[in-house]
Structure 1
């Protein structure tokens, strides 16, 4: 038996809708699943369902092995520990029935070298899980310069913003070798959620944790945190989505939380006594804002407005104060960030009569 998914798919499809194909494919998928190769097993399961839509053996096995186990009844002894298997992003957060329902919506796609899986600027309608192969993530910058920003391999998720909204793709993803990927459509997922409402919250949690993990890894404010501390922090942030033109922080109002910008673009605006406004450099993915108002306990002295449909994570005032009490290094990093912003904003407003602190967000 080969561990190549592409070879196995080709072999099964050549056998056609026969009992031999189903029996052989189920045996291979079972072996892969029990050896921890869940993604290959899930992908092969999709081929089996293509050959025989009524096939249930493999989906049930995968759900038993990889879905979230049910909570034991109150007072009952915990179930004996199962053999440790690797968690599958998103799928291992679903209960058994939801797991099987979502599995039924997946499409297995094959991409030749040089073929785009995602194209920058196009509306996002689905997310992908790379099962086999390699892809590059490239972004077209100003001046038509194209830059490779990441290379992804087996097991990597990408395009997850499309699970929450039809935002334009921020980058192009192109296969650099023969690649097989599982595609999960937002439309199909929404249909599943109508019958399995828990899927909606599971997807939101997955999305929030994925994007927050990226922000925390790259943002200098949180580099001092251990992976365990970052994981704990992800559980207290609230996912918030706002439309273009919506005000997130209003000048003169009490700051209500610390914000992390996950997706989109926001503009800070300072309103002068005569009503005129000064726009400051845009905030983009990964930026933090709202920290100075919280740290100093003052009303926000600038407005932050979403320029595009925007996804944010918000840490409310009470949670912010409780969390920072145990993280002095994060508090210090936020204070440094705020001080740098104040100096920068002061330069932008030089020559104007602005009271100290009036630039703070």
Structure 2
């Protein structure tokens, strides 16, 4: 049985810039690429480029096999390329941007238990898993860690760091075996995008599509939808970045959109007739708000202000009404949320009770 890829890469690095190392690396990358293992081939190619920066044959072969079809090529299409798998993000790029991206990814090896990403730290890079398995771990309110999911080979994670310096929402830890991943730094992507505008557009689209797919698949309001319905809904959501202090919904004004909070924290505020404001518990990642005004056609019952920089999904009134008219399940779920919030506000006004976390939404 051959050694794991991370071991073979270390062996190549140890050989240094020798004819043996260069020939071995090129042959291995070519073999993996032709076998339909592009991420492994890219990892080997990067080591090859570290040993010999002027090398071009392997990046060109990878581009011929996996770059966006229809892009101009220096040579005839490689036989069998159409039957090979596409690589998310990479295969959306034309030949030259594809090779530029291959040239800046960084193969990283992690021992079992070692974190690839640490919750709370500012994110500056994204990863794709080449070999092994990782666990996604988040600290709960009491401080205890909880494993939320596991990711396998070929999966991307941390991609929000490619578009924003946001705190990591969870830790990602190498599971019970060695992990090999490709790391993509935002600064390097920005440098490529300065030369190839399509790279920046592709990264933004890739991040948005993955983010929407993950949210709609896991959110209780939307999870009951069939995959095709979620895909349809994803096309009409807008992804927005909101600075701290910005008002998203104004009490007394007719709401113009439904919001889903992806990251950051928003504060709902109820303004009493005497001008005093009562703060509700903060809205956090995954919370939906703004549905009361849209569903009932009434002014918003509270103001919602971004307490920190936030990322939100916004669904405007017109597409909201157009889409939900044919989705009674979603309308019913949102109506239940709105009813619960109206009841909560009524109790607050009638009894002046304290608001308990997790008990209020707008």
**TM, length-normalised to structure 2:** 0.89
* Cα pair 1:109 1:183 within 8 Å, conserved: yes
CA distance in 2, matches of 1:254, 1:152: 42
Contact 1:293 1:360 in 2 (8 A): no
- 1:1-361 to 2 correspondence within 5 Å? 2=2, 4-70=4-70, 83-176=82-175, 177-351=177-351, 361=362
CA deviation map 1:216-247 (0-9, x unaligned) = 12212112211122122222211100112211
- Number of aligned residue pairs: give it: 348
Deviates more, 1:253-262 or 1:42-51: 253-262
C-alpha distance in 1, partners of 2:299/2:361? Answer: 9
Name the TM-score, length of structure 1 as normaliser: 0.89
d(CA) in 2 for partners of 1:4, 1:281: 49
Taking a change above 3 Å as real, the CA distance of residues 71 and 32 of structure 1, as seen in their structure-2 partners, is closer
Residues 219 and 287, structure 1, Cα contact 8 Å, conserved in 2: no
Judge conservation of contact 1:106–1:183 (CA < 8 Å) in 2: yes
Q: Which consecutive unaligned segments of at least 5 residues does structure 1 have?
A: 73-79, 353-358
Cα offsets for 1:64-119 (capped at 9, x unmatched): 222222489xxxxxxx9963333322222223222222221211111112222222
Unaligned segments of structure 2, at least 5 residues: 73-78, 353-359
Secondary structure of 1:25's counterpart equals helix
Shift of 1:145: 1.7
The match for 2:356 is: none
Distance of 1:9 and 1:39 partners within structure 2: 13
Q: Which residue of 2 aligns with 1:76?
A: none
Q: Which moved more, 1:299-308 or 1:18-27?
A: 18-27
Q: How has the CA–CA distance of structure 1 residues 81 and 116 changed in structure 2, closer, same or farther, with 3 Å as cutoff?
A: closer
| Partner SS state of residue 343, structure 1 | helix
Offset, 1:183? 0.8
Aligned-partner Cα distance in 1 for 2:315–2:71: 29
Q: Judge conservation of contact 1:212–1:262 (CA < 8 Å) in 2.
A: no
Q: Are the structure 2 counterparts of residues 81 and 154 from structure 1 closer, same or farther at C-alpha, using a change threshold of 3 Å?
A: closer
